[in-house]
Chain A
């Protein structure tokens, strides 16, 4: 059935039933999903290890977190195999983690949710506007038989005009644009901590012998930090926009990520997190690679 309306209580019940089965049959040790938070419209990441507790799981349009970040955390990693509730966009992270050998595909049972966009503090985030994975792909099981009608996809990405604006700028103006943004950075590293693809045990920003990036919040270190983080995520970032949601200083990480994703798409015809067989272009090497730029 093709629809744009979602009955969340049905979906929620299916998550609960499935989780119960998975835990009881010992197929997984833990279910990572959403639960009721203390404030309205703010569900919380919730971890269930006991089949009797599955009724704590909840699902609605406010379930915006990308939970796959937890899979590589020290607390959760040893609890494999896991089951995890994912929307289509979150499922791309799981693919990315498998492709980069961070988790084993057989260790994770993905409970895929059909999704017609989430609400963050009442607003539809830009990532949902042109979403191509409303019906999740690459998951272990899609919950319910409903199919979201994705014909409403518009040609232009909501950040298209911002991209145009950047493209029209001179290199200097563009530098100034990003400097203005990064100057506000307070180096809380929320962007890194919430990113499923920032899984390094020791981040380059934490290395001290030698130090690569000045840890002092200020123009020099901030620019280096944000630029290096962006470079490390080129072609790996799945545009879940969790970093821009979390940044307390409202730095335009959404635009930075989207710009780089477009570059990768245009240069390598690659979209991250879509295919278990394809490595991110900047992390692989092939003898046939174009090498005439090496002089």
Chain B
């Protein structure tokens, strides 16, 4: 597929074309709290979230250089949506399917880890049952990811085999680049990765010659990208390889270390809510006896209610057992079934957990203990 080069100052022109092509544009913006008039110099908590950019005037709100608090999974798998509508008539109950309302969409600014997360979700939502809500929206969305040039201290994508400029899961990848490695990044390398991405670029630059002029030949940047990618990887603080954790976890189900590592978990579910790959949902009916909707709402295995039986028994009766489930599912069960771990190393749960429970350090500590044990056993032999 083709590679282009786009100057950073021309990004807006590209977005304008996306909008004038009647595509829905979604990108990260700052969502403010109701204005705080604090007399102290408290930082007003602004949240960076993926939202629709309805018009040209809103383009200025797009935030390029920050990380979003919530992942972009809600574009395909919203926190709440109706799946059927029911009406109770004299003649009987009428059930109506709901149209997933999949619109042609351009999603800009997902990070490479998020984009890989979409492909993990796709494996699940097209596994034993095709989930039309997820799949139709994914099909109509062109994902333009943004390569990471300054990962956060909580990021660990390389631990799960990804990289800050990883391409899988994206349709197009924009990587900020500079003229040479030491200058400020002022351009993007635009890598077209899938036919869907190609279609978008062609439909955009095909229609106007000014756009043809701003999307110039990009092959020359590809080599520089490899060096740049390595440099950024080097700068990352968290690099422990997660590969063998699956094997270790097989023997850790009843291990007291996993219990003590997760003892402080409060069961709030924030980790699942911010996670690009957590996908559990709850089905509830909303409405009256005469008319209403069946809803699909985000759920979390951290909630006590998640496994509580009708009769009152709860097989995961302690919080650490719920937390253990989250780690086991991500790093053991999912990998056995779908080849990859269900964690892309985005670090959102690490940042959001109110008691600083940290999946990376849990894995790190488990691995360390396992290695120590093994050493001891080997010595005894």
Residue numbers of A with Cβ under 8 A of B are 37-40, 42-47, 65, 69-70, 73-75, 123-126, 129, 156, 158-162, 164-165, 177, 180-181, 184, 186-190, 192-194, 206, 214-218, 242, 245-246, 248-252, 255
Contact = CB atoms under 8 A, between A and B. Distances in A.
B300 interface: yes
Q: Which of A37, A38, A40, A158 has the most CB of B within 10 A?
A: A38
> Among B31, B352, B356, B361, which residue has the most Cβ atoms of chain A within 10 A?
B356
Contact of A249 (B47, B268, B269, B286): B47
Given A126-B42, A161-B37, A250-B47, A188 B31 contact: no
B297 A38 contact: no
A181 B33 contact: yes
Identify which of B282, B319, B354 gathers the most chain A CB atoms within 10 Å of its CB.
Answer: B354
Contacts of A159: 38
A177 B356 contact: no
A47 B47 CA distance: 33
Contacts of A164: 37
Contacts of A246: 268, 270, 354
B34 A180 contact: yes
Interface of B: 31, 33-34, 36-40, 42-43, 45-47, 69-70, 79-80, 153-154, 263-264, 266-270, 272-274, 282, 284, 286, 295, 297-298, 300, 303, 305, 317-320, 350, 352, 354-358, 360-361, 364
A194 B354 contact: yes
Contacts of B47: 249-250
Given A44-B264, A161-B39, A190 B350 contact: no
Nearest to A47: B263
Contacts of A189: 268-269, 303
Contacts, number: 131
Given A214-B286, A217-B297, 8 more contacts: A44-B264, A124-B40, A184-B31, A189-B269, A190-B266, A190-B354, A194-B355, A246-B270
Q: Please name the 9 residue pairs, one residue from A and one from B, whose CB atoms are nearest each other, closest first.
A: A38-B361, A190-B268, A246-B354, A161-B37, A193-B268, A250-B45, A193-B266, A45-B264, A188-B269
Nearest to B69: A248
Nearest to B348: A248
A216 B284 CA distance: 8
Given A75-B318, A250-B47, A156 B360 contact: no
Given A38-B358, A65-B355, A74-B318, A248 B270 contact: yes
A162 to B, nearest CB: 5
A164 B39 CA distance: 12
Contacts of B352: 248
A188 B269 CA distance: 5
A177 B264 contact: no
Contacts of A73: 266, 319
B40 A215 contact: no
Contacts of B39: 156, 158, 160-161
B358 A248 contact: no
Contacts of B303: 189
Contacts of B38: 126, 158-159, 161-162
Given A156-B39, A216-B80, A44 B300 contact: no
A203 B295 CA distance: 21
Nearest to A156: B39
B298 A186 contact: yes
A162 B298 CA distance: 33
Contacts of A249: 47
B350 A39 contact: yes
Contact of B274 (A42, A156, A248): A248
